[in-house]
Amino acid sequence: MPHVEIKCFPGRSEEQKKSCAEAVTKAISETMGCDASSVSIAIKEIEKEDWKASVWDAQITPEMDSLYKKPGYSCD
């Protein structure tokens, strides 16, 4: 059940990505009341020059009303 997709710039180590996935899994299972085994997490690296088209314009802007945590930056 809960599936999370994290998109970020490249450069984090595998250890950092695993630690992030573990922390997010714990937060989701505790706050949403589900087993950690029900949580899946993907981490996808997006090049900085592709961020606006691939993430900002395609996913963030159209979903702004449903974001519980909005970005503190813009891609204008």
pLDDT for residue 62: 97
Three-class DSSP category at 6: strand
Assess whether 41 and 61 both reside in one domain: no
DSSP state of 73: -
pLDDT for residue 1: 87
Measured from the Cβ of residue 38, the count of other Cβ atoms closer than 10 Å reads 13
Three-class DSSP category at 2: coil
Average pLDDT over residues 40-44: 98
* 2-36 tens-digit pLDDT: 999 999 999 999 999 999 999 999 999 999 999 99
Q: Is the dihedral of CA 30, 36, 40, 42 positive or negative?
A: positive
Residue appearing with tokens 């706050």: 31
Cα 66 from chain centroid?
14
Assess whether 21 and 36 both reside in one domain: yes
CATH number at residue 12: 3.30.429.10
pLDDT for residue 76: 83
Task: Place 57 in a pLDDT band, splitting at 50, 70 and 90.
Answer: very high
The catalytic site residues sit at 2
Q: Which domain holds residue 8?
A: 1-45
